[in-house]
A = this chain, B = another copy of it.
Amino acid sequence: MADKRIATYDTTLRDGEQCEGITLSLEDKLAIVRRLDEFGIDIIEGGYPASNPKDVAFFREVAAMDLRHARIAAFGSTCRKGVAAADDEGLADLLASGAPVVTIVGKTWDAQVERALRTTLDENLRMIADSVAYLAAAGREVVFDAEHFFDGYKANAAYALACVGAAVEAGAVSVDLCETNGGALPFEVEDVVGAVRAAYPQARFGIHCHNDSGCAVANTLAAVRAGATQVQGTVNGIGERVGNADLLTVIADLELKMGLRAVGSHSLMQLTSLSQYVAELCNVSVSPHHPYSGASAFAHKGGLHASAIARFPEAYEHVNPAVVGNGARMLVSELAGKASLLQKAASLGFRLEEAEGGAQAVLDDIKAREARGFTYEVADGSLGLLLMRHLGIYRPSFTLESFRVIVDDREDTGALAKDALSEATVKIHVGDARFVATGESAGPVGALDNALRMAIVESYPQVAHMELTDYKVRLLDESQGTDAITRVTITATDGVDTWGTVGVSENVIEASWNALVDSLEYGLHRARVRAGK
């Protein structure tokens, strides 16, 4: 299998997004497409146009992106029973999306056909063949997702194989066998994929696994061992229930352990960064214990091994952390290195070479702050302000005289009363003018945000257009009790730009204040830049 190439198919934006609690804006999705393309993913499944009208906008916008390598896929299902493919609205939506790849899911389990679809086994074969042929004739690269394939094969192997055959003969470029319930184990997957390959030796097969038995990655690798040449998954394994196969873990295992090529070693070094980036956009943390990309994935046990590691790293590290871009907790500072930081600064509109102390001073500052709990992965706003300070061009829009946040409760709360009301009073200076404003909200941070905006809107009317779209609180070390270091990240938009900021303190109010100030300051900066000032 030396140098054999495995195609990678990412379904983070479709199957992954079905994960509870994950909502991606259109901008988030396009940003993820850009990063996946840079990483070298072959096919990016962008959405489900028939099911999700918002995805129509996605396919329109992504068609205008200049992608280096990746092909975009639209996801849908076989035509409805009793309807010709040419008359099916879902298929029409798929073609209308303009996506060069179209992936349709179809039944392959006889009981599903009869009890869920409530049609005949022959009609289901017709639906598969007609739909694939129709899309292929329209010039699309068709992927057939064989739903519940492993349960279907166990129940009625001949029928499941017939479904595969219908797709292959109708012109599917790849038949991706889906372990939809997540219940199979690796040896079962390997056996079944082997049998399918033996039945259709000229066809290309992919694999799509879920993690309900804790074996999604292993199942995916087992399928590759049995001859699958396309692997589906999501970044960080996000997905409903127990999630999908983690595509990044699969890629790392394929390349580093199985001698196969997926994205190549150069891209592999971006694995950790990609993992962290997508996680932040999804509003979740990468577990420190996540394979390859977790902050602790390569953290060595203290004491017993520490001296031994330096002498003999292979004894304790299954791979060199640098090959996946991991190895330290300080992501932006360590992984970025000077070249990446200069590039990042340029993308934000700053020429970092001109900073006093240059890029090194900035790197040192970032590293020190990350040690205190800051993260800049999705806090371009705070990063931009930091760069401006180093460049000597930061002019605060206002200075703080004082703020006070008050949370009052006036009767016996029991466990359910909602009498707590928060009030914040902010006193600031803009030039020689002084402003005092008081804001209210259910919670203290909302009150502070309202007060601050009220205080500066007269001087800076643009803040009226700025809206907070996301607010996250993380206690960085819960065992420290009530005064644990708290990190607050905020996302805001003014309808044109979107930016993130971060604040850190033992005091959640102060951490929030810092993130709020950065948010308004950076928003004002962006507004000035757009106005040519």
A402 on the B face (CB < 8 A): yes
A258 on the B face (CB < 8 A): yes
Query: Which 7 pairs between the two chains have the least Cβ-Cβ distance?
Result: A183-B318, A218-B218, A420-B510, A214-B217, A214-B249, A181-B318, A407-B509
Interface membership of chain A positions 421-451, coded 1 if the CB is closer than 8 angstroms to chain B and 0 otherwise? 0100000000000000000011111100100
Select one of B253, B403, B415, B446 contacting A185, CB under 8 A.
B253
CB distance from A229 to the nearest CB of B (A): 18
A532 on the B face (CB < 8 A): no
Interface membership of chain A positions 263-307, coded 1 if the CB is closer than 8 angstroms to chain B and 0 otherwise? 000000000000000000001000111111010111111011000
Select one of B258, B291, B517 contacting A211, CB under 8 A.
B291
A257–B403 Cα distance when bound, in Å, is 60
Contact status B291-A443, CB under 8 Å: no
Which of under 10, 10 to 19, 20 to 34, or 35 or more describes the interface residues of A?
A: 35 or more
9 A-B pairs with C-beta separation under 8 A: A183-B319, A185-B258, A212-B292, A241-B299, A242-B291, A400-B411, A443-B506, A443-B508, A473-B508
CB distance from A460 to the nearest CB of B (A): 17
* A508/B218 contact (C-beta < 8 A), A181-B316, A471-B484 known: no
Contact status A420-B507, CB under 8 Å: yes
Contact status A213-B249, CB under 8 Å: yes
A475 on the B face (CB < 8 A): yes
Contact status A468-B481, CB under 8 Å: yes
Contact status A481-B471, CB under 8 Å: yes
A258 — which chain B residues lie within 8 A by C-beta? 185
A146 on the B face (CB < 8 A): no
A221 on the B face (CB < 8 A): yes
A482 on the B face (CB < 8 A): yes
Count this chain's copies in the assembly: 2
Contact status B415-A382, CB under 8 Å: yes
Chain A residues close to B by CB (< 8 Å): 18-21, 23, 51, 109, 111-112, 115-116, 148, 151, 181-183, 185-187, 211-215, 217-219, 221-222, 225, 237-243, 246, 249-250, 252-253, 257-258, 283, 287-292, 294, 296-301, 303-304, 308, 311-312, 315-319, 369, 382, 385-386, 396, 399-413, 415, 418, 420, 422, 441-446, 449, 468-473, 475, 477-479, 481-484, 486, 503-510, 512-514, 517-518
A21 — which chain B residues lie within 8 A by C-beta? 288, 477, 479
A301–B180 Cα distance when bound, in Å, is 12
A344–B331 Cα distance when bound, in Å, is 46
Contact status B482-A446, CB under 8 Å: yes
CB distance from A452 to the nearest CB of B (A): 12
Select one of B246, B315, B505 contacting A116, CB under 8 A.
B315
A396 — which chain B residues lie within 8 A by C-beta? 412
A294–B312 Cα distance when bound, in Å, is 38
Task: Give A296's nearest chain B residue, CB to CB.
Answer: B20
A415 — which chain B residues lie within 8 A by C-beta? 369, 382, 385-386, 503-504, 514, 518
A507–B420 Cα distance when bound, in Å, is 7
Contact status B312-A111, CB under 8 Å: yes
A51–B305 Cα distance when bound, in Å, is 13
Contact status B213-A215, CB under 8 Å: no
CB distance from A493 to the nearest CB of B (A): 13
| Candidate in A311, A477, A482, A484 with the most chain B CB atoms within 10 angstroms | A482
